[in-house]
Structure 1
Amino acid sequence: MPITEIPLCVWRKRGHRFEFRGQAIRYWTAGQGEPLLLIHGFPTAAWDWHYLWQPLAQRYRVIACDMLGFGDSAKPRDHEYSLLEQADLQQALLKHLKVEAPVHLLAHDYGDSVAQELLARHCEAHREIASCVFLNGGLFPETHRPVLTQKLLLSPLGWMLGRAFSREGLAKSFSQIFGAQTRPSESVLDDFWSLVEANGGTRILHKLIAYIPERRVQRDRWVTAMQRGEVPLRAIVGAVDPISGEHMVQRYRELIPDPDTVLLAGIGHYPQTEAPVQVLQHYLAFRENLALPPRKLAWS
């Protein structure tokens, strides 16, 4: 199936704006049909989904935003960033777009945690989540292996590291977490960096990284929601990711009943950009299985 790249300059022109708690948020939407909410990771933005955007928009109503503190959205300096607030943001965006049908989720990295919060809210208050697919992310704090940059950002000197963080630092971090044969080109690194530094983004990296301890606080509630089996789940994971790769999938299989997992050999932390065709195939297969009628049991 064809995959077409959307250059960042084109992607930016297609964005829309809405206000969330007094802050400007950039979002994108395309297609018709069942709503599919795409939730990006740290430290990048909704452009992470650009390879999958058009193929998914041919089948579904796709929706994505740059979350607060990310990409081209507002990045207030005097703000305490929270995964729970980012879940509020996703719900506010759906309300803004008048989405009333049950929503499917496709999430990555930081976005996995936001999706877990939405799943927990679904279980607690029936928020109508139709399905959820996770890409590489810290679903379980006990398996998350942060890279050195993340550890330093969490330290008391994190604010200094954030201000000194550069394109070269981003390139070095990405070289560690992408697959050996699927690392981003120099021009793609330029685009990633453009999104990170937009609106003074490096000055708040140490605030955004607070999601790591927040995950620990919410861990049991989120995992319980996943274990309940009320929402169909799949994990599509780059196997060689040192942060949340094959070792995370092993834990997923231990904790989640009837686990539906896909490991992508040779792929790292960003499967949607490293192996978009494979991710698309496995995602569509998951959705096709959801649409199949239940099997009838024959009695004799």
Structure 2
Amino acid sequence: MTIVICTSQACVFLNGGLFPETHKPLLIQKLLLSPLGFLVSKLINKQRFSTSLQRIFGPSTPPNPEVIDTLWQLLNHNNGLAIMHKLISYMTQRQQHRERWVGAMINSTIPIKLIAGVQDPVSGQHMINRYRQLIPNANICEMATLGHYPQIEDADAISTAYLQFRQSIE
């Protein structure tokens, strides 16, 4: 899922599958989206969750046990794990609304920036390249060692990149 920070003056995208044509979902995401998704969500346990996280974090910034515990708790809050098959519908919505959503980025009248982890196998370098192709005067901060969760993997670097962007437009 893409994290977006927008105001009336600017917008920042943080990783994520901005373009359905470049999004490379994990097997678990595909299974959750399938008609068997409700059963698949019942098979997810903390160990499987941890293994998936290990694959999408940057190789030099793996999640520590505290991060895994925290994300697992968040996933289970209010029985969230039981509805994962419903939450994953954002992948379908991204395809349904692609022209409108991508068009808004292409035609933006406010400054926009992408901050992304290059090592993300789901939406990393390949998504960054597509962003560069489609977005006029693309403003990109490529985090060479980070993966799918750059805001967790190196919060200081992400904060710095964001604040530099904000200062550059003020």
In the superposition, the TM-score normalised over structure 2's length comes to 0.95
Q: Which has the higher contact order (CA 8 A, sep 6+)?
A: 2
Whether the 8 Å contact between 1:162 and 1:203 is mirrored in structure 2 is yes
1: CA distance, partners of 2:3 / 2:60: 25
Aligned to 2:117: 238
Aligned to 2:14: 135
Could you tell me which of 31, 55, 66 is aligned with 1:176?
55
Q: Does 2:136 align with 1:257?
A: yes
Q: Does 2:146 align with 1:267?
A: yes
Report Cα offsets for 1:119-139 as digits up to 9, x if no partner.
Answer: 8xxxxxxxx722111111010
Could you tell me which of 83, 97, 109 is aligned with 1:218?
97
Could you tell me which of 104, 108, 126 is aligned with 1:229?
108
Matches within 5 A, 1:84-95: none
Report Cα offsets for 1:73-122 as digits up to 9, x if no partner.
Answer: xxxxxxxxxxxxxxxxxxxxxxxxxxxxxxxxxxxx3444xx7xxx8xxx
Whether the 8 Å contact between 1:229 and 1:257 is mirrored in structure 2 is no
Give the number of aligned pairs: 170
1: CA distance, partners of 2:38 / 2:52: 18
Q: Secondary structure of the residue that 1:249 maps to in structure 2? A: helix
Q: After TM superposition, what 4+ stretches of structure 1 lie above 6 angstroms from structure 2?
A: none
Show structure 2 runs of 5+ residues with no match.
none
Q: Secondary structure of the residue that 2:10 maps to in structure 1? A: strand
Q: Does 2:144 align with 1:284?
A: no
Q: Secondary structure of the residue that 2:39 maps to in structure 1? A: helix
Could you tell me which of 6, 27, 33 is aligned with 1:148?
27
Report Cα offsets for 1:141-184 as digits up to 9, x if no partner.
Answer: 00000011101101111100112211112101101100112111
1: CA distance, partners of 2:77 / 2:45: 12
Show structure 1 runs of 5+ residues with no match.
1-108, 120-127, 292-300
Could you tell me which of 147, 150, 160 is aligned with 2:39?
160
1: CA distance, partners of 2:3 / 2:63: 21
Q: Compare the two structures and name the one with the higher strand fraction.
A: 1
Q: Secondary structure of the residue that 1:129 maps to in structure 2? A: coil
In the superposition, the TM-score normalised over structure 1's length comes to 0.55
Matches within 5 A, 1:47-58: none
* Identical pairs, percent: 44
2: CA distance, partners of 1:165 / 1:192: 13
Letter matched to residue 123 of structure 2: S
Aligned to 1:190: 69
